[in-house]
């Protein structure tokens, strides 16, 4: 059961990193094309970062 939780944390962390990368790519595209960042890429980066940090702290507290 502990390995199942570990696998879940790894998948959630990977999804968080994917959301951050997608936000960065979208922001880069919007800056190049429209000369200004939009709200959606900033939101993706913020939510991905918060989700990643939440998963890291939750994983450390549950392992102890």
pLDDT at 54: 92
Is 19 within 8 Å of 9 (Cβ atoms)? no
Determine which helix (DSSP H) or strand (DSSP E) holds 7, and give its type and residue range. helix 2-34
- Say how far apart CA 16 and CA 47 lie, in whole Å: 8
Half-sphere exposure of 7 (CA within 13 A, CB side): 4
pLDDT at 17: 95
Domain limits, the chain: 2-63
pLDDT at 5: 73
pLDDT at 8: 83
Closest C-alpha among 58, 61, 64 to residue 8: 58
pLDDT at 37: 86
Could you read off the pLDDT tens digit of each residue along the chain, which spans 64 residues?
Answer: 466 777 888 899 999 999 999 999 999 999 999 988 889 999 999 999 999 999 888 876 665 5
């Amino acid at each position: 059961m502990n390995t199942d939780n570990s696998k879940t944390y790894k998948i959630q962390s990977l999804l968080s990193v994917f959301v951050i990368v997608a936000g960065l790519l979208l922001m880069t595209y919007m800056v190049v094309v429209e000369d200004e960042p939009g709200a959606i890429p900033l939101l993706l980066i913020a939510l991905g970062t918060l989700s990643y940090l939440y998963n890291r702290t939750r994983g450390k507290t549950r392992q102890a």
